[in-house]
Amino acid sequence: MTTRPEESGSSDVTEDAFLGGALTILQPRAGYRAGLDAVLLAAAAPAGSGAGERVLDAGAGVGVVGLCIARRVSSARVTLIESEPRLVALARDNVVRNGLEARVEVIAADLTGRASALAAAGLASDAFEHVVANPPFHIEGRGRRPRHPIKAAAHAMPADGLDRWVRFLARVAAPGGSLTMIHRPDVLPDLLSLLVGRFGSLKVLPVHPRAGAHAVRMLVQGRKGSRAPLTLLSGLVLHRDDGGFRPEVADILRIGTALALD
């Protein structure tokens, strides 16, 4: 991701280049900002095996994950769901400025809301071949709360929040459809307990900043209704010893190469 001078006429927004400039994204200058996690998550989504696949980006923010998938998979139809009005507006701008309005829609809704209301908004049960999510990493009331309200909302959820996210994702995923999430490694026991019984064939890919360092992220993927066992994959190492990105990671970030979890 590279940041360019903003062109929106608002000093609180930046224009950022993703996928080597294949996408230009407006996002808040302050608060939560999408970056490496979003691009890795988009690359790991196993879309592209069939025409017209429907992809849901849950808690989409300004739309980086879903738009990266739409740019990589030219036949995918992508839905972004986001509840924060400021981010919804930016996501809609980003869809248009990248010429993807024919295949990408934005729904303003709280994914933890009532199933009937979400279905009425276009989020019906069993509707999406692929669902992706980068949920808030922290629990409200634990640790230091960010000062910026949008960043605070993006970084923390209620104590039962992850359970509600997983229930929503399981409901809207099609039978046999994929779920791909990115989260912190210490959340893995809780996350697996929520996924088992809903998603199987689970794969866990630890993400390490450099060789020999502890993982700082994990990508988790599964299939709705599968009974296949869990697989712990060899970790993805991001950086070379000199600090630059490893070639396979650079390709993900700069040209949108897919990241297969196998």
Report the CATH number at residue 79.
3.40.50.150
Checking DSSP bridges between strand 13-18 and strand 23-28, what pairing results, if any? antiparallel
Within-domain flag for 134: yes
Within-domain flag for 4: no
| Range with the poorest average pLDDT among 19-28, 46-55, 190-199 | 46-55
Res 11: pLDDT: 74
Provide the β-strand partners of residue 219: 182, 205
Res 145: pLDDT: 46
Please state the rounded mean pLDDT for residues 89-110: 97
* Residue indicated by tokens 């104590």: 159
* The pair of three-digit structure tokens given for residue 194, joined into one six-digit string: 């929520």
Q: What is the pLDDT of residues 160-174, one digit of tens each?
A: 889 999 999 999 999
Which pLDDT band, with edges at 50, 70 and 90, does 152 fall under? very low
Within-domain flag for 50: yes
Res 158: pLDDT: 65
Based on the structure, what is the number of domains in the chain?
A: 1
Res 56: pLDDT: 98
Within-domain flag for 135: yes
Domain limits for position 217 = 35-255
Res 49: pLDDT: 82
Residue 234 pLDDT exceeds 60? yes
What b/e string do you get for 149-164 counting C-beta neighbours within 10 Å, with b at 16 or more? ebbbbbbbbeeebbbb
Which pLDDT band, with edges at 50, 70 and 90, does 5 fall under? very low
Q: What is the pLDDT of residues 30-74, one digit of tens each?
A: 887 889 999 999 999 999 888 889 999 999 999 999 999 999 999
Separation between Cα atoms, residue 158 and residue 179, nearest integer Å: 22
* The pair of three-digit structure tokens given for residue 247, joined into one six-digit string: 């070639």
Within-domain flag for 159: yes
Within-domain flag for 26: no
Residue 252 pLDDT exceeds 60? yes
pTM of the full predicted structure?
0.89
Within-domain flag for 25: no
Separation between Cα atoms, residue 167 and residue 118, nearest integer Å: 13
Please state the rounded mean pLDDT for residues 6-20: 78
Res 4: pLDDT: 53
Within-domain flag for 106: yes
Res 147: pLDDT: 54
Of residues 23, 1, 30, 156, the one with CA closest to residue 78: 23
Res 32: pLDDT: 79
- For residue 39, give the amino acid letter: V
